[in-house]
Amino acid sequence: MQNVSGTRDLFSDELKKVRLIEQRARDFFTKLGFEEISTPVIEYAEVFVKSLGETTDIVMHQMYSFLDKDGKEVVLRPEGTAPVVRFYINLQVERPKVKFFYVGPMFRRERPQKGRYRQFTQVGVEMFDYPSPQADSYLVFILSEFLKNLNIEHMIQVNSVGCPKCRPSYSEALRNYFSGKPLCGDCQRRIDRNPMRILDCKVDSEIVKNAPEITDFLCEGCKNHFLEFLSFSKNMLDEGILSVNPRLVRGLDYYTGVVFEVFHRSGGNAIAAGGRYDLLAQFMGGKPTPACGFAVGVERLSEFVNLEKAKRTGVFITSMKETFGESFKLLKNILKMRSDGTIFEFKNKNEILGELIKRVDINLDLTKSLKSQLRFADSENFRFALIVGKRELLGGKVVVRDLELSKQEEVKITELFE
The only residue of 133, 195, 274, 286 in contact with ligand HAM, by rule CB under 6 A: 274
The only residue of 272, 352, 398, 411 in contact with ligand HAM, by rule CB under 6 A: 272
- Mask of contacts with ligand HAM, 287-326, x by CB under 6 A? ------xxx-x-xx--------------------------
- Mask of contacts with ligand HAM, 338-367, x by CB under 6 A? ------------------------------
Question: Closest approach of Cβ 385 to ligand HAM, in Å?
Answer: 42
Question: Closest approach of Cβ 325 to ligand HAM, in Å?
Answer: 51
The only residue of 43, 79, 204, 278 in contact with ligand HAM, by rule CB under 6 A: 79
Stretch that binds ligand HAM, among 74-82, 312-320, 337-345, 384-392 (CB under 6 A): 74-82
| C-alpha span between 274 and 261 (Å, rounded) | 7
H or E element in which residue 399 lies: strand 397-402
Exposure class string for 161-173: b at 16+ Cβ within 10 A, else e: bbbeebbeebbeb
Question: Closest approach of Cβ 228 to ligand HAM, in Å?
Answer: 20
Could you give the count of Cα atoms lying within 13 Å of 259 in the half-sphere of its Cβ?
23
# chain residues binding ligand HAM, by CB under 6 A: 25
Helices within 211-323 (DSSP H only): 220-236, 280-283, 298-302
Question: Closest approach of Cβ 148 to ligand HAM, in Å?
Answer: 17
Instruction: Say if CB 151 and CB 306 are below 8 A apart.
Output: yes
Q: Which CB sits closer to ligand HAM, 127 or 317?
A: 127
Q: Which CB sits closer to ligand HAM, 147 or 374?
A: 147
| C-alpha span between 76 and 125 (Å, rounded) | 20
| C-alpha span between 337 and 357 (Å, rounded) | 7
Q: Which CB sits closer to ligand HAM, 286 or 297?
A: 297
HEC string for 62-119: HCCEEECCCCCEEEECCCCHHHHHHHHHHHCCCCCCEEEEEEEEEECCCCCECCECCE
Q: How many CB atoms lie within 10 A of CB 223?
A: 16
Binding of residue 80 to ligand HAM (CB under 6 A): yes
H or E element in which residue 173 lies: helix 167-178
Contact residues for 408 (Cβ-Cβ < 8 A; gap 6+)? 387, 399, 400, 401, 402
Residue ranges in 102-121 that form contacts with ligand HAM under rule CB under 6 A: 108, 110, 115-117, 120
Question: Closest approach of Cβ 92 to ligand HAM, in Å?
Answer: 17
Residue ranges in 24-43 that form contacts with ligand HAM under rule CB under 6 A: none
Question: Closest approach of Cβ 79 to ligand HAM, in Å?
Answer: 4
Instruction: Say if CB 106 and CB 290 are below 8 A apart.
Output: no
Binding site for ligand HAM (CB under 6 A): 79-81, 108, 110, 115-117, 120, 122, 124, 126, 251, 270-275, 293-295, 297, 299-300
